[in-house]
Chain A
Amino acid sequence: MKSSNQDLELVRLYLDAQATAEEVKLLEQKMRKDHQLRKDFLSYARVDAALPYACNIPEKQTGKTFRFPPWSIWSSIAAIILFLLAINFKPTNPGLPESSKQAIAYFEKLENCRWMNSQEVVDQGSFLFVSDRIELSSGKANVRFSNGAIMSLEGPSIVELCSANSVFLTLGRAQVVAETPESQGFSITTPSSTFVDLGTSFTAAVAPDGLSRLGVTQGKVNLIIEEDHAHHLIEAGGTIFVEPGKHKVLTKIESGNESKDFIFPSIPPPSRDDYADTSHGIAKVSVPKGTLRKLPGWEVNPLSLLDGKGQTLPDSPKESVFLEKKGGTFGNLLIDLGKDIAIQRVNSYSWHQNQKVKKHKNRARQVFTLYGLQDQKIPDLNLPLIESGWKRIARVNSDRFFDVREDIDRPAQQACSIFASKGKIGDFRYLLVEVHGPTFFGEIDVFGNPAKP
């Protein structure tokens, strides 16, 4: 038996986030007593949760949803497919109409592919339709779209084809080359953002926890954050990470000119104008966990992180703040801004290049997680940070950013800029840099203004 209309209206108000505190309380009272109402509530909540992901809602009744057709069907129509391929599906042929009934792409090349559903049989040349979901466990698959765009997937990856010009990347990594005029505007949507190609080549990646990465190889890509109505143009050579969550935080990392001037393509050099700069005498830096590396007769003052300048030499431990690795971890740097600050941007700088061994620039890589905490008593830092009240702002791994496969590929001078897609990152008094690498930090700049009460 279904619940009463009156009770279902309360459920509606709750699910549409329109319920007042009193209505939530009333619904709660009723649900505590009424098993059927709880059952109905859960059932409608599950439908509500599933609908945003129903990328395959067809326009017309005739549409069909399937993943990969069984081989038996393919084999029986193989001749027709090959014929169609020959006459209609030329790589750059934009003539195929976009419809849920017709193919919008096909597998151009498959290399050592293993699919998540081992029952699926997919062959080179297999057609793909609107709403098809590609679940590649390992290997490489090239998908060619009717507009000429080529999407290269590397397993493990999960992608849904939403139209002839757009896909939804749930997890994994996809590279898009959109060289034809028809394929301009090809977009990859991820759980946190949409990347729209403005010509001609980019890579999108989504980690299991929703962190999205965009790397532009050629041309330009528009990064769109729907919730913030914000656009960011990323040009060739640029890479950006988008943190998941309501309030989108972006992370950009660039390589510098390897001089004491710390010149980067778009990130400014170390600054004396930021809120945390030592010249203002407000911010403090400490090492609450871990040990600062000391040299005989020399101890680096962690406050030098805020002095407005980076190192003057490429391999200068005396000018670098870096933590010793002990028991598999490095430790934390704590920046106390004195009171809650509406933080707009945090920039960090590193430089390391061994003079004798060219490939030895391991300490240039920036690997850390940045957390923020509002003005309150600092919780025990031995407890898990998020559970104890710290808000994770961004995760930085510059080696992943630059796709470093060999040590020699790692830029020796790096700047990382963390900022909100729109407005401020948040109001925080404390910033905690949980260090995961042997980074030679030269400077950290914190831009912002006192938060409004």
Chain B
Amino acid sequence: MSMKPDEEHKHDQFLQLYVETESSLRGFVRSLVPSLEDAKEVMQGTAAVLWRKFDQLDSPENFRRWAFGVARFEALAYRRDQARDRHVFSEELVLQLAKDTEKELERFDLEEKALEKCIRKLPEKNRALVKEAYFTGTKIDQIAKRADRTPMSLYKALHRIRIALADCIQNDLKKQEGFA
């Protein structure tokens, strides 16, 4: 994959900006589409558009806002494709969620750091469940079978873990604000 020097510089600059934005962008996209798989699809489409149109970015400082705009557009386009099964939010709500998210962009990096700490605070068995369900990508049905539990009980357990993590993140951020 050899590249010309100016192309390499562009690639390098893109990567730096993209990496800085990627995780918050992913969270944003996730809120706009019904499943993690859908979010992956939209993220890939978003990355492809960002890279293709990178030359149009007026200033690197605006990358984040621009990326969120592109992601919103991609999520809406994806939503339109999927609209036939009606398991998606309306365009109006997607736009509202995008607006809500954009107000909190600055907090995303702090949230990400807090999440790392919060994962560590989870009880051992919850951490193991998160790892299996999210990182190794094992299907819930399979985990349930192995653990001799019902899939529904695992879905609910994961839901409780997500709530606990979200609460922990908020508390951590509040503490930081208190110290600031």
Interface residues of A (CB under 8 A from B): 8-9, 12, 14-21, 24, 28, 31-32, 35, 38-61, 63, 65, 116, 135, 137-138, 155-156, 158, 170-173, 191, 205, 207-210, 213, 226, 244-246, 386-387, 400, 403-405
Contacts and interface: CB of A to CB of B under 8 A. Distances in A.
B135 A47 contact: no
A43 B166 contact: yes
B144 interface: no
Contacts of B70: none
A42 B26 CA distance: 12
A46 B137 contact: no
A155 B96 contact: no
22 contacts: A12-B155, A17-B35, A18-B155, A24-B87, A32-B92, A32-B93, A38-B96, A41-B97, A44-B163, A49-B36, A50-B112, A52-B36, A53-B23, A54-B134, A58-B127, A63-B120, A137-B15, A155-B12, A191-B44, A246-B40, A400-B1, A400-B2
Interface of chain A, main secondary structure = mixed
Interface in B64-92: 77, 85-90, 92
Contacts of B142: none
Contacts of B134: 51-52, 54
A116 B18 CA distance: 11
Given A46-B27, A63-B120, A208 B44 contact: no
Nearest to A392: B48
Contacts of A171: 15, 18-19
Given A21-B86, A28-B93, A52-B36, A116 B19 contact: yes
Interface in B94-136: 96-97, 100-101, 104, 108, 111-112, 115-116, 119-120, 124, 127-128, 130-131, 134-135
B155 A57 contact: no
Interface of chain B, main secondary structure = helix
B15 A45 contact: no
A254 to B, nearest CB: 18
A38 B89 CA distance: 12
Contact of A403 (B1, B85, B100): B1
A239 B17 CA distance: 29
B14 interface: yes
Contacts of B169: 43, 47
Contacts of B163: 8, 44
Residue of A16, A19, A135, A400 contacting most chain B CB atoms (<10 Å) = A16
Nearest to A131: B116
Given A171-B15, A209-B52, 7 more contacts: A12-B155, A19-B87, A43-B170, A46-B28, A49-B31, A50-B23, A54-B134
A244 B44 contact: yes
A72 B27 CA distance: 35
Contacts of A191: 40, 44
